[in-house]
Each structure stands twice: as C-alpha cells, then as structure tokens.
Amino acid sequence: MTLEIAAILGIDGVANGAIYILVAIGLVLIFTVTRVIFVPFGDIAAFTALTLAALENRQVPGTISLVIALAVIAALIEVVSLVRRGDLHAVPRALLFYLGLPLLVVALVRFGIGFELPMAARIALAILLVLPIAPLLDRIIFRPIADASVLLLLIVSVSLHFALSGLGLLFFGPEGVRTQPLTEAAFDVAGILISGQTILIVVTSVIFSIGLYLFFDYTLTGKALHATAVNRTGARLMGIRPARSGAIAYILGSLMAGTSGVLIAPVNTIFYDSGFLLGLKAFVGAIIGGLVGYPSTALGALFVGLLESFASFQSSALKEVIVFSLLIPILIWRSLASTHSEEDIEE
C-alpha cells in the first residue's frame, strides 16, 4: 500500500465514519433517554433516501401511506388510553400531536409533489416526512413497555426492524434507488482528489455534533433530556416527563438518521432493506464508544468507518466480517475495563 492509496482510503474512511457518526449519535441519544437500542434506525435513513428518490421522480413516496397508517394507530391508542384514565381534556392535544402534525406533514409533501421543487426543498420535505415515523413507533410499541428490561426492549426493537423492512418492501417495492448528486464539485489537494460530496458529509456531521453539544449545554430542553438519561426518577420529580423527552430524542435522532440517508443516497444504491447494515455499523461504533458519551461515540464511529475502508482494500469480500468481528475483542475489553458502580448494581 502506497502512501497515496492510504490517503485515499483514509479520506473514504472518514466520509464513511462521518455517516456512522450521525447515525451512532442518534442511537446513543435515544438509548440514553429511553433505554431502547433503536435497531430500525438505519431503516429510517434508508426510507429517507427512498422518499427523496420518489420526490425527484415526482412520484408519491410510500412513506406517505406508512406515516398515515402509523399516525392513525398511534392516535387511536393514545385516545383510548386517555379515555380509560378519564383524562378527557387531554384528548384534543393528543389528537393534534399524534394525528394532526403527521397529517399536516403528509399534506405538505403531497402538495409539494405537484411542483418542480429545487433540490433543497425536496430534501427538506423528505426529511420532514420521515421525522414522525420513529416517535409514532415509540408511542405504539415502546411506550406501553417503557419499564421493561433493556434486553426485552432490544428484542422488541430487533423484531420491529424486521417488521419495518417488510413494510419497506410493501411501500417502496424491491427496486434500488440512487438520488441526484448533491454537488459535482471536486478538489485536488496535494494530488489527491477529494469530492465535494465527501466534504459535505464531513461538514454536516461536524455541524450536527456541535449543534447537539450546544443543545445539551445551553437549552433547558437539552438539559431535561440529559437529566432523563442520567436519572429518570429524579427527572420525574422535577416534572420532566420521560415520555416527552423520549419523543424529542426520537425526533432529533430521526433528523440525524434522515440526514445521513440523504448524504449516502447519491453514492450508494439504496434498497428498502439497506438500512440494516448502516444501523449495525453505527451500532458497533456506539458500542466502541461505550453507548454513553457523544465524543467517544463519534470516535468509535469514525474508527469503524476507517477500518471498513482499509478492510475493503485488503479484501472487499471480507470487509463486513472484519468490522463485525471487531465487536468480540472490544466487548471483552469493555467488560474487563468497566467498573460497576454501586448505583448500577442497585438497579
């Protein structure tokens, strides 16, 4: 391997890593706030890409039916549970959040299809349409079992992924898509060609990371989310609703997954089930980071990206094997290195 090849692989790896950072940070965000390892996260990214492709062809994306179906089910469940509790005055608000807002987004997208929209508007609509999916799934599936063990939540989450890829096939069909390039620009840096796409990916990832840092450190909502992650009971005693924190975490996470979907769709062909590998690799990155801190997660995800890039140079067929085999030594190392505090044992 020459230095030049290493540099090219390195740049490629950083770009991959930047994508994994977006998804991995979203995963950690949702996990710390809700204790759910949201395996279908990669599916959200894939669905965004598929939605964007449909919008580019001025077709009605399958996401619309999916969102309508989920919104109706979630609204029904919420209203029934409110009526049972005798909490009738909360019904209009619940209908607004679980039915009104998702349908408003659907209407906006449906309206937008009628026009020749600029790329930025298409991207915004695609991400907007995907945002309600995770919070609605949370309401339908995870809220009723919010106090279950992490393992049970994980098992449900895995089955939810399989259900979603089935729905993906139903709503989007089996064809793969590739969206229009976001930029054609390319830069020659010391003899190595760096595409504008790569730079865009890295810059987006950096912007999101900084934005998230500012959100957690400087806003009351961000602090409340952090507090829910640190101590649920403590948060409830201060009037912070874990369910609301969870919904915000799902929306923020979906924003990051959706963005990553938009960023990879021009360079990779995306199928209805492409999200799984993306989510799984981001998950490996998050595990390397210990599923807790955001900087460590970002480093873990970057490492996975670089490893994947160099592994594919050594043996393209074995690159997934190399990345996933990495989990075993890392889990052993983590279980040896971590010290269990008294509080952990109590729980």
Partner 1 sequence: MSLLSVENVSVSYGKVEAVRGVSLSVEAGRVATVIGPNGAGKTTLLTAVMGLLPYKGRILYDGMDLSKLDVEARVERGLCLVPEKRELFSEMSVSDNLILGAYSRRDRNNVARDLDAVYDRFPRLRERRSQLAGTLSGGERQMLALGRALMTKPRLLMLDEPSLGLAPLIVREIFHVIGSLRDLGVSLLLVEQNARAALETADFGYVLETGELASAGPSKDLIHDPRLIATYLGEH
The residues binding partner 1 (CB under 8 A) are 85-87, 220, 223-224, 226-227, 230-231, 233-241, 343
Which of 237, 337 has the CB closer to partner 1? 237
Which of 225, 262 has the CB closer to partner 1? 225
Which of 229, 262 has the CB closer to partner 1? 229
Question: Quick one: which of 255, 298, 347 has its CA closest to 30?
Answer: 255
The helix (H) or strand (E) run that includes residue 176 is: none
| Distance in Å, CB of 263 to partner 1, minimum | 31
Q: Distance of CA 238 to CAs 133, 204, 220, 227, 250, Å?
A: 29, 35, 13, 10, 22
| Distance in Å, CB of 218 to partner 1, minimum | 11
Instruction: Please name every residue paired with 193 in a beta bridge, in sequence order, or none if there are none.
Output: 188
Buried residues in 102-140 as b, exposed as e (16+ CB within 10 A): bbebbeebeebbeeebeeeebbebbbbbbbbbbbbbbbb
Instruction: Decide the pairing of beta strands 186-189 and 192-195.
Output: antiparallel
Q: Distance of CA 26 to CAs 54, 70, 149, Å?
A: 25, 21, 21
Q: Distance of CA 180 to CAs 105, 118, 121, 199, Å?
A: 23, 12, 14, 17
Q: Distance of CA 30 to CAs 217, 226, 248, Å?
A: 17, 11, 9
- Give the Cα separation of 94 and 86 in Å (integer): 14
| Distance in Å, CB of 229 to partner 1, minimum | 9
Cα of 3 vs its chain's centroid, Å: 34
| Distance in Å, CB of 85 to partner 1, minimum | 7
Cβ-contact 307, 288 below 8 angstroms: no
Which of 58, 241 has the CB closer to partner 1? 241
| Distance in Å, CB of 286 to partner 1, minimum | 18
| Distance in Å, CB of 207 to partner 1, minimum | 24
| Distance in Å, CB of 226 to partner 1, minimum | 6
| Distance in Å, CB of 224 to partner 1, minimum | 6
- Ramachandran region of residue 212, left (φ > 0), alpha (ψ -120 to 50) or beta? alpha
Which of 175, 217 has the CB closer to partner 1? 217
Which of 34, 198 has the CB closer to partner 1? 34
Which of 14, 235 has the CB closer to partner 1? 235
- Give the Cα separation of 343 and 337 in Å (integer): 17
Which of 86, 191 has the CB closer to partner 1? 86
